[in-house]
Structures are given as C-alpha cells and as structure tokens.
Amino acid sequence: MNPYYRWSMEEYEPMLQAICKEAHCWETAAFSGPEDLSTVLQSSIRDQLAHLRKLTIEISYSDRNDPVEIFKDAPVLYTISFNRDLWMHPVTFSLPWAQLRRYGGCSEWDKHLSALYRSPGLVDCCLQIDDIGPPSSIVQDPVALPNLRRLSISNPHFLKYLQTPALEELYCDYDVLPGPLFPPPGELQIAEVVTRLALFFPLPTELVCDFYSQSSTMAPALEHLSCFLKVDSEVGHEIQDEFVKAIESQWTRGSLKSVKIYGENLQIVSDRLDLLRTQGMECAVFGGEPFPSPKDLDDIPPELQILSVQ
C-alpha cells in the first residue's frame, strides 16, 4: 500500500483481516501504509506474534510522542527496521528492547537514546536522527553497547554519547551542519577494533592531524577507509601530506587494504596513492562535484544505508 495514497478502510480492511489471521505463524513481516494501518494492526495482530523474528515497517505516523505499541509483546522479535524510506516521518515504538539484536530507523535523538539504553544486546544499529543539530538534552552517561559490531549514524554530533568497545564497522553520514562535528578520537572508544570506517562529512583538521600523529595506535585494525577530505587552500599541502603519511603508516603495518577519498584539489593525495596502488593497495580518489553516492560505490552495506541523503 502506498502511504501517500488516500485509501479507504472499507477497501483494504477485509484484505488485511484475512492476512492477519495467520499472524500467529509469521516469522518475518513487512508493512507499508498510512497511519490508519496501525489501527487495523492493533486490533488484528497484537498478542499474536509468538514467532515473529524480523519486522520491517514504513508508516506515516503523525504523533511523534505516542509510541506504536503493536509489537511490544513479540517474544522472539530480534530485528526491526522502521521508516528508513519514510524518513520524513520519524516514529516511536514500544518494543521488547532487551532481546533486540538489530535496530534501525528514523526517530528523534531522545527517542533513539531511550531505545539504546534499553537494548544492550544490539549487534547492528542504523540511526537516522531527525534532529539537525547537537542533542537538546544533556546525556549524563554514555550509552553502553558492549556487543555492537556495526553502526551507521546520520549525524556525528551523537557519536560521543555512545560507548561501543566492540565496534568493527562505523558509517557516519555527510548530511550534517558545518562546524566542529567529530568528537575527539578518545571519546569514541572504538579505535582498537574498528576495521571498516566510512566518514562522509568534511574531516576536521584536528582529526586528520590525530590520524597522522597517532597512526600507530589510532584504529590499528583498520582495513577499509572511505572519507571526505576538505582541503583549505592555506594549509592544503600540509594536511594532504599528513593524511597520506597516516595512510602509508597503516599500509606499512599491514592492516589497511583499501582507501576511497572524496574531495576537491587532492592532487597530492592522488599522486601518493598511485604509488601505494602499485604496491597492491586498493585506492580511489573522487574529485569534483557531484560526488558519487556511497550507495553506488558499495561503501555502506544496503541494510545500513541512511536513505535520506542518497
């Protein structure tokens, strides 16, 4: 059902009721529709989802503060993906949080934060954050996610509020406001184990410098790097030099396998990476706009892509 189509309850409810009679057998379910869909589901399938393990739902729900409670009693629900396509309609759910392993969708930061606090078992997480700036509420303690292996997040402002010691893959989007966006590396608590890093926003000069000066200890297990490098004309040569030296250091130690760099005026980076390419590294530099989409270049797994910026 198209969520933007003005549908008739009389037209669709009989079909939905017939489908929902088998809800007690469902192991996977996918729904897409307007707000009235939640009303039908609420009366048809709640308390009947004994076998539901994976849920995908796209719903144009209007009340951000009223959570959808249909799925909160699904005893074996481990995976949920919601409003990734309908990202302009952030939504809140009541779910069996403690058992969740994979969580992704569009909501406000405070709602995501509440969900993460209650979901310590997550291994995959994709956060489309509706807020455009830093969080409005003060976070006293970072959210501890000790089992999280993969994280995709639409705004780097929020990384410092997450404690992810086992994180292996980080994908951070580029649809953000200008300014000091990335927290100091020490606040991320991911450096020792991360193997795949994709940062699609202009890297701050401080981070590039840290990547060079701490190249022996910062992300020592890094294998794949994709990033956007913005070069200031006054310090461009120096920044490019330090960035490539960090890449060369990682390559020499044997961990780094591939690098993709987006940006303008990166001739120094391009020339130096050409040399590494002859030594066996997979390298690519994409200069000029429009830049290729990360989706097109397979930088981000499909299930972790932030669709609002594709």
212-252 tens-digit pLDDT: 777 666 778 889 998 888 766 555 678 888 888 889 888 88
Q: Is 145 inside any structural domain?
A: no
Q: In the predicted model, what is the mean pLDDT of residues 60-84?
A: 84
Q: Is 253 inside any structural domain?
A: no
Domain with 8, as residue range(s), is: 1-100
Q: Which H, E and C letters describe 151-170, residue by residue?
A: EEECCHHHHHHEECCCCCEE
Q: Is 26 inside any structural domain?
A: yes
Q: Is 8 inside any structural domain?
A: yes
What interhelical angle do 9-20 and 36-44 show, nearest 10? 30
Q: Is 239 inside any structural domain?
A: no
Q: Is 24 inside any structural domain?
A: yes
Q: Which of 241, 249, 257, 239 is nearest to 218 (CA)?
A: 249
For residue 93, the 8-state DSSP code is B
Q: Is 63 inside any structural domain?
A: yes
The dihedrals phi and psi of 15, each to the nearest 5 degrees, come to -65, -45
Query: Does the pLDDT at position 134 exceed 60?
Result: no
Contact between residue 119 and residue 127 where contact means Cβ atoms under 8 Å apart: no
User: Looking at the DSSP assignment, which residues form a beta bridge with residue 261?
Assistant: 227, 285
CA distances from residue 264 to 7, 136, 208, 285 in whole angstroms, order as listed = 48, 34, 16, 9
- Round to whole Å and give the CA distance between 202 and 178: 9
Contact between residue 162 and residue 151 where contact means Cβ atoms under 8 Å apart: yes
Quote the number of domains for the chain. 1
| pTM beyond 0.75, yes or no | yes
By CB neighbour count within 10 A (0-12 exposed, 13-18 middle, 19+ buried), where does 6 fall? exposed
178 — pLDDT class (breaks 50, 70, 90): very low
- Round to whole Å and give the CA distance between 151 and 171: 6
Residue predicted with more confidence, 144 or 132: 144
Q: Is 257 inside any structural domain?
A: no
Q: What is the pLDDT of residues 82-99, one digit of tens each?
A: 988 777 777 888 899 999
Q: In the predicted model, what is the mean pLDDT of residues 257-270?
A: 86
